[in-house]
Amino acid sequence: MRCFVAIELDSKTRAELAPVLEKIAVMSLDCTPVLPEALHLTLAFLGEKNPRQLSDICANLSQLRFPSFNLEVLGVGVLPNDNFVRVFYAGVRHCPELASLAAGVCSVLDVPVFHAFSPHITLARITSRKNIEKLIGLKSELSNKEFARFGVESFVLKQSMLSPQGASYVDLACFPLQPHK
């Protein structure tokens, strides 16, 4: 099964991002938008894992001890760049606690790190340049928009199932963060 570790968004943050998803839906883009209930922030992609490996993964993740923290969802952008758009995303304000958690997850799971951690919330996966100028315009319009701020109190091991309609996710295990003192 295809697995990854992520932070779930709270309902208020999903509601704040829903109008952006609605704008994308009427742009006639060649894209697969993410459903509001599926929005998340990936900490580490694990790839294909068999059921026997999951118990080791869960045991390793349960050893992590990080304090809860706040995240701010801020602006939108594209990956890799305006000339070759593959992902339209909502950004996250720099947060040292988030970077530490992601590094901790990668460390205990021995996940190779090929590039610097770049936290984002994927809103849509783009498959062609059709009407891409509309998306670039939306990026300019919302580049500094403050969407929401929410408390991160846990992270989740998830299974991803791919289909032509996009990915769907199943939570396999949840790992709480330590409460603030």
Nearest to 58, CA basis, from 3, 119, 114: 3
Strand 2-8, strand 40-48: pairing: antiparallel
User: What pTM did the predictor assign?
Assistant: 0.93
Cβ-Cβ contacts under 8 Å for 104 (sequence gap 6 or more): 64, 66
Q: Quickly state the pLDDT bin for 179 (edges 50, 70, 90).
A: confident
pLDDT the model gives residue 141: 96
Is residue 50 predicted with pLDDT exceeding 80?
Answer: yes
CB atoms within 10 A of CB 128: 10
CA distance 169 to 180: 29
Is residue 39 predicted with pLDDT exceeding 80?
Answer: yes
Mean pLDDT of the region 90-96:
95
CA distance 181 to 168: 36
Mean pLDDT of the region 79-94:
95
Mean pLDDT of the region 165-173:
86
Q: What is the mean pLDDT of the chain?
A: 93
CA distance 10 to 179: 17
If phi > 0 it is left, if psi is from -120 to 50 it is alpha, else beta; for residue 56 that is: alpha
CA distance 123 to 120: 9
CA distance 105 to 61: 7
Provide the CATH number for the domain formed by 2-176 in this structure.
3.90.1140.10
Is residue 116 predicted with pLDDT exceeding 80?
Answer: no
pLDDT the model gives residue 80: 94
pLDDT the model gives residue 181: 60
